[in-house]
Amino acid sequence: MMGFSTATDARSRRDARVFASVGFSAALCMLSACTSEKPLDQGPGTPQVQIAEASEILITPEVAAFGTLVHRNKAEVYPEAEGVLSGVFVDQGDQVSAGDLLAHLRQDRLLLRISRAGSALDQARAAYDLAAARHAAARRNAEAQLLKVKSSAEEVRRLQRAVARSERELETAEHLLAVDGATPSGVERLRDGLRDTETALTQAELQHRSMSIGFRDQDLTASGRTVPRNRAERLEALLALQTETHLAEVAVAGARVAEAETELRELELLRESSQLRAPIAGVIADRHIDLGERVTSHHPVFSIINTSELYLLVEVDERNQASVAPGQPARVLFDHAPETPVEGRVAFRAPYLNAQTRTGGVRISLDNSRQELSPGMFARVLIELGPPETRVIAPVDAVRNDAGDPHVYLLHRGAERNRVYRQPITVLDTANSPEGTLAVAGLAAGAELVLNPSAIAFADGTAVEVMP
């Protein structure tokens, strides 16, 4: 079975075994006064040893750590305005979705203000409609006036032609009268007709000038407008000049409508803010108030935590922290179900180390859609650093570590004597080698190793007897 422990725990147990072996060897040396480093011949006093073979297995490189579960996110629900709670609809432990109504404040006065604001908006809209109708009527009147101006101009031109014709007729009659071709009375009638036509022309010109006021090019210039060259554009400019006061009234009425709408929207937002809704989906972790209590914007009413996805926060030692990367799979074990690991993935690795602990933070993401886990739970984790690798393993009892110099004793079988030789090795840091073994480098699979070598003082070439 694979042992489940942190890398630090594994190293501690390994060092403890080695140091115990060293201590036991030292004790035997003192008791037997064995200080010679010369090879011993196999004979009656030949040391007896037990042998184990190094083997080769597939090991997934992993790093072990432990930590505590925390929620993914948390929201504190604050009221936007002060008020008295008139309704509370959730309690501690309830599941809520984003946007759910949690509670609301008393709204009697606010509803009256909303009603008044609605009436004010209706009045503003009616005033706007009236101003728009007046503007439309003024435009129609201006269009009618333009037609009258045009008609009066045509009347002036008609009378001008009539005066010219009467003048020609009178001149002709006066020439005929000089040669007795016309009567004095007939000439006088022509003079009277000319005077009448001239009088009508004068009156028509006065009326035209009066009717043209406000519809002249000079009126456009005086109002700061440019006189368009296009006839249709000129007429439109004249209509705008005649209706600019009514158009200003429409603009003022429109501004009052916008102001009333803004006021109503503000009150509606205030009404909405008096309804406390869940900003996120999750569980009501805390409820800080009761029905009828007064709340302010400075104190939270509810605390909501999202437990559908949890994070396991762990610290990884500096030797392995650089090997951890987001996306790596992880197996998480909890004390309540040690035989049922929960699958997770590395979501984040801190880009720095803690200067005191020499560790770096790692965040493991866990799916908790079934709500079987709770924030605050303690857990152990194995983070897979890569695919399985072939490793040589040796029994812990075969490894000796003198002052940080790990080595084993290899058995060389001979025809007459079996001898042991010292072999330096490197102990690989892995959290999931089989119980009682160490992953090592510097050995070949099948090598025969002396067990408990610290019990006997060996020198290279020492003759030994292999126990069955």
pTM, rounded to two decimals = 0.50
State how far the Cα of 454 lies from the Cα of 25, in Å rounded to an integer. Answer: 4
Confidence of residue 30 (pLDDT cuts 50, 70, 90): very low
State how far the Cα of 447 lies from the Cα of 440, in Å rounded to an integer. Answer: 12
∠ CA(203), CA(206), CA(210), 5° rounding?
A: 140
The pLDDT tens digits for 149-182 are 999 999 999 999 999 999 999 999 989 888 888 8
The pLDDT tens digits for 229-276 are 898 999 999 999 999 999 999 999 999 999 999 999 998 888 887 889
∠ CA(117), CA(119), CA(122), 5° rounding?
A: 110
Q: Tell me, what amino acid is at 459?
A: A
State how far the Cα of 300 lies from the Cα of 298, in Å rounded to an integer. Answer: 7
The pLDDT tens digits for 117-146 are 999 999 999 999 999 999 999 999 999 999
Average pLDDT over residues 76-105: 90
The pLDDT tens digits for 346-361 are 999 999 999 999 999 9
pLDDT at 204: 93
The pLDDT tens digits for 180-223 are 888 889 889 999 999 999 999 999 999 999 999 988 889 989 98
Q: Which alpha helices (DSSP H) does 76-213 contain, by range?
A: 108-178, 184-212
Crossing angle of the two packed helices 108-178 and 244-273, in degrees rounded to 10 = 170
- Whether the pLDDT of residue 17 is over 60: the answer is no
Taking residue 404's Cβ as centre, other Cβ atoms within 10 Å add up to: 6
Dihedrals φ, ψ of 393, to 5°?
A: -115, 145
Q: Whole-angstrom distance between the N-terminal and C-terminal Cα of the chain?
A: 27
Q: Tell me, what amino acid is at 463?
A: A
Instruction: Please give the structure tokens belonging to residue 212.
Output: 């043209």
CATH of 7-61+389-466, one of 3.40.1350.10, 3.40.50.1470, 3.30.1370.60, 2.40.420.20: 2.40.420.20
